Structures are given as C-alpha cells and as structure tokens.
C-alpha cells in the first residue's frame, strides 16, 4: 500500500505534462513576441522612411513653388497672388524643415548629411528668392529679372535626387526586413500552434500511459489488499461468533452462579439463625452451670459442716472426702 499511485511522482508527471507544453508555448510566444517587436520596429522605421520621402518631396515642392512665385512675380510684378503664393510657400517650407530638424525621422548618417546639404541649398535658393522679391516689392522689377535667371536648381535637384535614391534603398531594405519578420512571425505562430499541439499530444499520451500503468498497479494492490481485508473480516466474524458463544455460556454460568449464590445466602441466613439459637441455648446453659456451681458450693459448705461433725468417723469421712473430690471435679 505504500506505493499506491506514488502521489509525488504522479504529481510531478502531471505538472510536467502541463508544464512542458506551456513552456514550449511560452518559448514560442517569447520568440513570436520578439519577432512581432522587430516587425513593429521595422514598420515604424518604414513609416519614418516614408515620412522622410514625403518631407523631402514637400521641401522640393515648396522650394519649386518659391521659384515659380518669384518668376511669376518678376513677369507680373503687379500680381499680388504671386506674392501670396510665395509667402505661403515660405511658411510651408519652414514647417517641413522644422519637421525634419528634430532628428527623429532621419537616422541614416548619409541621409543626414544629404539633408543638411539639401537644407543649405534650400536656404540659398530662399535667400536668392527673398532678394528678388524685395526688389520687386520696391518697384525694381527690371533689376530682379537678371537675378531670377541666375537662380540655379541643378545642384538642388542633384542633392534631392541622391537623397531620394538613397531613401528608396533604405525603404527597400526595410520592406524586405518587414517581409522577413512578417513571414517569421506567421511561421512561428503556425509552428507554435501546431508544434505545441503535437508536443502536448505526445507528452500527454506518454504521461497518460505511465499514469495508467501506475493506476493498474495501484488497482491490483488495492484488490489484493481488499481480499486480505475480506479474509481478515471473515476471520474476525468467526472469532466474534466464538466470542458470542463464550459470552452466552458465561451468561448461563453467571445465572447458575447467581442461583447458587442465592441458595448459599439462604443457607447462610439459616445457619446464622441456628447460631443465634445455639447462642441463646449456650446462655441458658451458662446460667444452669452457674446455678449448679452455686448449689455445689452450698453443698460443699454443708459437707464441710458434716465433716466437722463426723470427724470421728474417718473411714466415712475419707469416703465422704473422696465423694467431695469427685463432686469438686465435677463442679
């Protein structure tokens, strides 16, 4: 019975049956979590890279707007909407540059260098455009025309194209990285689900077989123990029957002893009553003896008086003396 089910080993195996699949699932979950984090980080990097492209293109668009506004204002100095368009372009260009200046969007060192170069080109173009617009506002449009022709966009476009090309490469790498982590995440999820299920089934089958074996052994031990207990109970029933018979005999004997005791008690009471009667008779005998002794003493006194009178009759006196001795002995 000491080995029934082996509770500690059984508990360990049950915990193992739950723990290993859970551990496998947790491991896949951790790896999947890392993959998902990498995927999210890559997606965030890709979003930043696209934002860089958008801001660069916006910078190009707003810079081109400045140049177009300057050229339109040079050709049509009296048209106010060119000046308004120029001012709007300046505001939006400053907003775009401010977005990029924080350093959060561009992380590639080469791109940072290209952006700084592009900003320098934008500032130079803006300075040239401000000079032209100042001349136009002061009514010196004729002087502004040569300056407009001198505004050169070749180096600006070259820097912009190099930056966009490099950013396209970064985006391509990020897209490939995102695809890799996305495929890895899906693969880990599928492997985790099916692999974890397979491992759980295999381990569950192994542990269930081991537990079933122990249970069968325990059932066999319990059956043997039950048979032993049944035999012991049968023996105890026989012993109880014998004890019941003995108790019955003892009860009969006790009843007989009770009857004998009652009879002995009655005999004892009769003996006591007889003894009481003997005692009464003995008292009466003592009284009779005392009376006899008193009579003998009186007789002795009388004999003595007679002896004094018949001194002279010695033979008779001796006989009387012998008689007196006999009487004394009797008293």
pLDDT of residue 217: 73
pLDDT tens-place string over residues 86-114: 889 889 888 888 887 765 778 888 888 88
Highest mean pLDDT among 130-139, 168-177, 199-208: 168-177
pLDDT digits (tens, 9 = 90+) for 262-318: 776 777 677 667 657 756 765 776 676 577 667 777 777 776 776 677 667 778 778
Top-confidence residue, 1 or 87: 87
E-assigned strands of the chain?
A: none
Enumerate the domain spans of the chain: 7-201
CA distance 222 to 260: 55
Greater confidence (172 vs 2) lies with 172
pLDDT tens digits, one per residue of 4-32:
444 556 667 666 666 766 777 777 678 87
Residue 240: count of CB within 10 angstroms of its CB: 11
**pLDDT mean over 113-140:** 87
The two structure tokens encoding residue 265 = 């008690």
**CA neighbor of 135 nearest in space, from 126, 125, 143:** 143
Contact 73, 130 (CB under 8 A): no
- Give the span between the Cα atoms of 252 and 246, in whole angstroms: 10
C-alpha to C-alpha distances, 175 to 41, 54, 104, 216, 282, nearest whole angstrom:
12, 17, 19, 59, 144
Q: Scanning the structure block, which residue is given the tokens 């007989």? A: 256
Q: Which CATH architecture has domain 7-201?
A: Up-down Bundle (1.20)
**C-alpha to C-alpha distance for 126 and 130, rounded to whole angstroms:** 6
Quote the distance between the C-alpha of residue 291 and its chain's center.
111
Mean pLDDT of 73-85: 84
């Amino acid at each position: 019975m000491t080995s029934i089910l082996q509770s500690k080993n059984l508990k360990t195996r049950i915990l193992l049956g739950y723990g290993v699949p859970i551990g496998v699932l947790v491991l896949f979950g951790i790896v999947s979590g890392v993959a998902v984090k990498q995927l999210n980080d890559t997606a965030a990097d890709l979003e930043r890279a696209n934002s860089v492209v958008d801001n660069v293109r916006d910078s190009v668009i707003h810079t081109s707007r400045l140049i177009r506004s300057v050229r339109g204002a040079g050709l049509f100095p009296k048209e106010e909407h060119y000046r308004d368009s120029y001012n709007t372009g300046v505001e939006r260009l400053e907003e775009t540059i401010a977005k990029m200046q924080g350093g959060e969007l561009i992380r590639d060192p080469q791109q940072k260098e290209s952006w700084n170069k592009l900003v320098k080109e934008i500032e130079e173009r803006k300075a040239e455009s401000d000079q032209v617009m100042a001349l136009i506002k002061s009514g010196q449009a004729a002087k502004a025309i040569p300056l407009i022709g001198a505004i050169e966009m070749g180096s600006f476009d070259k820097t912009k194209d190099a930056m966009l090309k490099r950013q396209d490469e970064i985006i391509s790498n990020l897209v490939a990285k995102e695809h890799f982590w996305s495929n890895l995440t899906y693969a880990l999820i599928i492997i985790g689900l099916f692999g974890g299920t397979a491992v759980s089934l295999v381990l569950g089958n192994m542990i269930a077989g081991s537990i079933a074996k122990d249970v069968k052994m325990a059932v066999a031990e319990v059956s043997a123990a039950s048979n032993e207990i049944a035999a012991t109970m049968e023996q105890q029933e026989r012993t109880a029957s014998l004890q019941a018979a003995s108790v019955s005999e003892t009860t009969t004997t006790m009843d007989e002893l009770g009857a004998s005791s009652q009879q002995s008690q009655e005999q004892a009471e009769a003996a006591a009553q007889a003894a009481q009667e003997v005692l009464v008779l003995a008292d009466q005998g003592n009284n009779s003896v005392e009376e006899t002794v008193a009579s003998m003493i009186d007789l002795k006194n009388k004999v003595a008086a007679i002896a004094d009178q018949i001194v002279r009759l010695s033979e008779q006196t001796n006989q009387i003396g012998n008689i007196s001795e006999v009487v004394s002995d009797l008293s």
